[in-house]
Structure 1
Amino acid sequence: MNKSSVSIKMTMEITELGNKDVTVVEEKGHLLEKDNTTVLKFSETNENNEQTNSLITIQPDQVSVKRSGAVSMLQKFQSKQITENVYRHQFGTMHMETETDQIVYQPPVANQDGKLFISYRTSLNGETPRRHRLTISLAKEN
């Protein structure tokens, strides 16, 4: 198993009715690589100084995002499939239905950063789905 310290830049774009909301998070974390599985671990702190731990597991045919702390969820992405989960945060609980369009993962190698890109649509509590694009850039630290 290979373990590396990484700098993470996570860009989330949500498009709804022509409006685009973009959030960028930059954190330090760890990347664990073994066979066909890559795990990315990192923590974020929100404006209320509450921590959320994230564990992103990348496999050839699916990605799962497990978050615990201020936000709690286990979201699975599988190309061309619909998955469901429950999202819990300080304002309550929401049912999420996600349809994944595309997953592209390029692991970091030598002097080249890695990148995870997921394009999907999510519906919260049965509302009209919103288009999401998640891009995570990974830079190994020496």
Structure 2
Amino acid sequence: MNKTPVSITMTMEIIDDDNKEITVTEEKGLLMEKNQMTVLTFSEQNEYNERTDSFITIQPDKVSVKRSGAVSMHQKFTEKQRTENVYRHQFGTMHMETMTEQIQYQQLEKKRNGKLFISYTTSLNGADPRRHRLTIQFSQEDNR
């Protein structure tokens, strides 16, 4: 499995009625590809200097986001399907129910950045669902 150093920009949009919350995270990570599977890994620090490791597995019909450390979760996305998981962080545990609407994936190529887009709704602890759009763009790091 080839390991390619990449620059990652992750944009999370949460749409709730008339409100739109946008969070952008930029990290360095690794891209690994084998057969029909792509894995992106990276780590991030929160405002308390606690680390969270992210492991994103992309397959033709599904995406899995596994996070461990300050935040712990294993969220699965399959188009037109409902999934459930538990989200753990310093303030406690939440039950998440996710309905995935759309997954689009563009592989990293020599002259083209890679991109993963997921549109979904999530309900936390039985609350009204909110719309989410996750866009992860990644480009190969220069080896200079």
TM-score w.r.t. structure 2 length? Answer: 0.98
Q: Stretches of 4+ moved more than 2 A in 1? A: none
- Alpha-carbon distance in 2 for matches of 1:108, 1:67: 22
Separation (CA, whole Å) in 2 of partners of 1:3 and 1:90: 32
**Is it true that 1:97 corresponds to 2:97 in the alignment?**
yes
Residue 135 (structure 2) aligns with: 135
- Map of 1:27-106 to 2, 5 A cutoff? 27-106=27-106
Q: Quote how far apart the aligned CAs of 1:18 are.
A: 1.3
Q: How many Å separate the matches in 2 of 1:14 and 1:34?
A: 32
1:24 CA drift (Å): 0.1
Letter in 2 for 1:116: L
* Identity among equivalent pairs (%): 69
CA distance in 2, matches of 1:18, 1:32: 39
| Counterpart residue type for residue 26 of structure 1 | E
Note the C-alpha offset of 1:141.
1.3
TM-aligned CA deviation for residue 17 of structure 1: 1.4
User: What TM-score, normalized to structure 1?
Assistant: 0.99
Which string of whole-angstrom CA distances, capped at 9 and with x for unpartnered residues, describes residues 86-132 of structure 1?
Answer: 00000000000000000000011012100000000000000000000
Amino acid at match of 2:49: N
Deviations 1:66-95 (A, max 9, x none): 000000000000000000000000000000
Unaligned residue ranges in structure 2 (runs of 5+): none
Over the residues paired in the alignment, what is the CA RMSD in angstroms? 0.5
- The one-letter code matched in structure 1 to 2:33 is E
